[in-house]
């Protein structure tokens, strides 16, 4: 095989034989493959002697340190290499060359979206890997071969056993490449995972009891003060059990679960909220006042406002919160009861948390927390 040589080389390229030069015979097995590629070399001439090799010949003169008599060599980096063989036969100095192609084995980055027992698979950056095609082993005895330019496939599983999906990029010449393995559990149940209960387990941490008979993957989402949800980064796949989640346990905190799949129906679970218990008043405190647990602002003159009933109050502060912990009403006068509105807009019926701080004449300050039911 002949190679062109730039004129700037101080020494001629030994793989380009000059007129009258005797060429040898070089066999390389294999001549193409993936890293690490182990090649074996041999001379095709009988009785060839003093056989030497340069396994990464880059042209010009050969330094002694580059020469080896080993007939086996391992390439550990991808690239296009030239092997130079020097030998003697019947008193003649012989030269032979061969090219070796060594491919990389980058594991392909695979994108998987699931819906029940169906999975959609794609390789977004396929051009980066330069594989000729991709071989997919779905882990259930079936395989697919995907185009190297725009690889994508949809597969449907039977049963709900966990599968390991193996995606191998393949160089056609060499039949090799890198492999990515993904764990996937199909779900034959259409039931969305849901939160059975929420409880406090420590300072700044809540435990969510999960009911997930279908074993579907999910994320935990927490409602923000503005009403939107923020999803956690971790993906869970437990069927039934507890998931711990950091939260502000001194206020109402609401959660829901979102299924990690492409199903568009019933993707989110019902919302479940944690309501902190009302603290017990100090044993020595005077709690001789009444706080109603419900009111109905319908204009009939009966229980139209929410306010405590007590006498001789010298200091007073009432704060009411909605289910997301937002303040919807605040008063510092006992005559200012809450009429079930926020900035003049009627709020929906339901349970609202409150904090009441009062001081009666000659008594110690008191604080009471609880909830009141707004009825419409």
Q: Are residues 209 and 265 in the same domain?
A: yes
What CATH number is given to the structural domain containing 300? 2.60.40
Q: Which of 76, 103, 130 is the last residue of a domain?
A: 103
Nearest to 54, CA basis, from 42, 43, 70: 70
| CATH number of the domain within which 51 lies | 2.60.40.10
Residues 262, 232: one domain?
Answer: yes
Average pLDDT in the chain: 85
pLDDT digits (tens, 9 = 90+) for 49-88: 999 999 999 999 999 999 999 999 999 999 999 999 999 9
Is 340 within a domain?
yes
Q: Supply 151's token pair.
A: 């690889």
Q: Within a 10 A sphere around the Cβ of 324, how many other Cβ atoms?
A: 16
Residue 284 lies in a domain: no
Please indicate, yes or no, whether residues 133 and 168 belong to a single structural domain of this protein: yes
d(CA 250, CA 353) in angstroms, rounded, equals: 11
On whether both 57 and 96 belong to a single domain, the answer is yes
pLDDT tens, 251-274?
A: 888 899 988 765 545 578 888 888
- What pLDDT is stored for residue 59 in this prediction? 92
End-to-end CA distance of the chain: 92
Burial of 269 (0-12, 13-18, 19+ CB in 10 A): buried
For 178-205, give one letter per residue: b (16+ CB within 10 A) or e.
Answer: bebeeebbbbeeeebbbbeebeeeeeee
Q: Coil, helix or strand for 64?
A: helix
More confident site: 244 or 289: 244
Structural domain for 263, as ranges: 194-274
- Cα gap 158→142, rounded to integer Å: 12
C-alpha span between 230 and 220 (Å, rounded): 8
pLDDT category of residue 250 using cuts at 50, 70 and 90:
confident
Give the number of other Cβ atoms within 10 Å of residue 252's Cβ.
Answer: 20
Domain identity same for 121 and 83: no
Asked whether residue 162 falls in the same domain as residue 213, the answer is no
Number of structural domains in the chain: 4
Radius of gyration of the chain (CA): 38
Does 342 have pLDDT greater than 80? yes
């Amino acid at each position: 095989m002949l190679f062109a040589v730039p004129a700037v080389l101080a020494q001629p390229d030994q793989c380009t034989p000059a007129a009258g030069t005797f060429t040898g015979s070089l066999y390389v097995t294999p001549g193409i493959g993936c890293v690490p590629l182990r090649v074996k070399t041999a001379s095709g001439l009988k009785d060839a002697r003093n056989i030497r090799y340069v396994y990464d010949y880059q042209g010009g003169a050969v330094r002694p340190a580059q020469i080896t008599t080993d007939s086996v060599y391992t390439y550990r980096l991808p690239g296009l290499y030239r092997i130079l063989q020097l030998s003697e036969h019947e008193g003649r100095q012989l030269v032979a060359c061969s090219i070796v192609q060594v491919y990389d084995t980058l594991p392909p980055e695979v994108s998987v979206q699931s819906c029940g027992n169906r999975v959609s698979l794609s390789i977004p950056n396929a051009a980066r890997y330069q594989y000729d095609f991709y071989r997919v082993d779905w882990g259930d005895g079936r395989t697919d071969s995907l185009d190297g330019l725009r690889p994508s496939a949809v597969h449907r599983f039977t049963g709900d056993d966990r599968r390991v999906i193996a995606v191998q990029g393949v160089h056609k010449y060499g039949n090799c490449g890198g492999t990515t393995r993904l764990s996937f559990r199909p779900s034959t149940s259409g039931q969305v995972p849901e939160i059975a209960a929420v409880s406090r387990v420590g300072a700044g941490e809540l435990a969510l009891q999960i009911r997930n008979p279908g074993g579907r993957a999910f994320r935990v989402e927490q409602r923000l003060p503005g009403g939107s949800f923020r999803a956690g980064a971790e993906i869970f796949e437990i069927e039934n059990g507890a998931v711990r989640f950091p939260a502000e346990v001194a206020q109402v905190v609401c959660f829901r679960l979102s299924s990690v799949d492409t199903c568009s129906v019933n993707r989110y679970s019902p919302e479940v909220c944690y309501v902190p218990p009302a603290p017990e008043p100090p044993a020595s405190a005077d709690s001789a006042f009444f706080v109603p647990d419900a009111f109905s602002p319908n204009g009939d003159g009966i229980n139209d406002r929410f306010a405590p009933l007590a006498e001789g109050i010298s200091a007073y502060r009432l704060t009411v919160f909605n289910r997301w912990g937002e303040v919807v009403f605040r008063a510092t006068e006992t005559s200012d009861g809450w009429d079930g509105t926020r900035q003049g807009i009627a709020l929906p019926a339901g349970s609202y948390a409150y904090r009441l701080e009062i001081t009666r004449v000659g008594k110690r300050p008191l604080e009471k927390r609880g909830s009141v039911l707004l009825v419409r």
